[in-house]
Amino acid sequence: MKNKKALILIILVVLVAAVAFAAGALRKPKKEEKKETKTEEKQEKEFTTYMPATYKVCDEDSCIHISGSYHMGDKRITKLDQKIIDIFDNSDYLALEIEDDTDSVDQSQFLMKDGKTLQDVVTPEFYAKLEKFSEEHPMYVLKAYQNYNLGFNSTIIETLPLLEAKATTPGMDTIFQKRAKKNNKEILAFETMDFQLNLLTGYSDEFYMQTIEYFIDNYDEAAKLQLDLYEAYLKADVDEMLKLLAEDEEIENGEEATEEQIKFYEAMYTNRNNHMTEVIKEYLADNKNVFVVVGAAHVLPEGGILDQLKQTGNYTITRVE
């Protein structure tokens, strides 16, 4: 079972819906934009292209390709190597976690019930902590989220480090989805947007309060982890990514995971990995030439898609160099 620190990383790399709504909900203060644009332009000029860790999986009759995605980053995330573009172009189908359609989602599921506000459901001490955090991180405008539930606020806060780094450019999920639509390539989806959003809001207020409080108390460490993971992703440094996503880290401060934390982890990670793996087996059995793009945390670690396929002994798996 992952500790709380690892869960901070998990929510960032396994849910398209989380980053899509967080990026849309937050806006950077205008006076910061010019300075940060210069820094971003310099960084972008120095960067060439990257080849995300991508694998060819074959049975006796057919092959598919699987690539782990980082759902959101800075502009470097758009600079895909021609090799991965060729893999997409030569496939018959594109398979994604979801086909992103945020405009069609009923956002009322994020609102408080019965006219309540955040102050009505949290302790005065917890609300004071949110106020202090909002003062220190102006992109999180607490007053703007008074009527939104704790699940929504948790998602906004946990995605904040990348957003503060101006890493709001959609990743290759969105890049290839647009390309597929332009080329009339069929898009397959493992999940729906509503399914993912329900994962973000389906737990108790106590659970979200614990998650938010832990994140705020360890914000600098969490931010460094998120940004380090992103840099490792751009370098396709699988060993470093696995280190950051390690499942065998000790529970910090000797705290044991609660039953609800275990349930969250299983729903967010284990059950979804199992489902995606079974669907991929069906693609291979049906001789479908599919390019699969899902969150890197689903693909690489122990218990992930590649590991499960390898354990069957029925497939050859090779990394595309």
Structure confidence at residue 32 (pLDDT): 47
pLDDT: which is higher, 107 or 39: 107
Instruction: Count other Cβ atoms within 10 Å, centred on residue 2.
Output: 23
Tell me the average pLDDT across 202-226. 90
- pLDDT number for residue 199: 82
The verdict on residue 247 lying in a domain is yes
Q: What is the mean pLDDT of residues 86-101?
A: 91
Please report the pLDDT score of residue 253 as a whole number: 40
The residue that leads in pLDDT, 104 or 313, is: 313
Residue 171 has which token pair?
A: 């990743």
The token duo for 22 is 């967080």
Specify if 13 maps to a domain: yes
pLDDT of residue 110: 83
For the segment 271-285, the average pLDDT, to the nearest whole number, is: 97
Residue 78 inside a domain? The answer is: yes
pLDDT at 248 > cutoff 50:
no
Residue 90: give the domain boundaries: 4-34+51-100+119-319
Query: Which carries the bigger pLDDT value, residue 182 or residue 1?
Result: 182
Contact 260, 204 (CB under 8 A): yes
Residue 64 CB neighbour total at 10 angstroms: 23
Average of pLDDT values for 115-123?
Answer: 93
Residue 112 belongs to a domain: no
Is 106 contained in some domain? no
**Any domain includes 130:** yes
Structural domains of the chain, count = 1
Whether 42 is in a domain gets the answer no
Can you give the pLDDT at residue 245?
Answer: 79
- Please state whether the predicted TM-score (pTM) of the whole model is above 0.85: yes
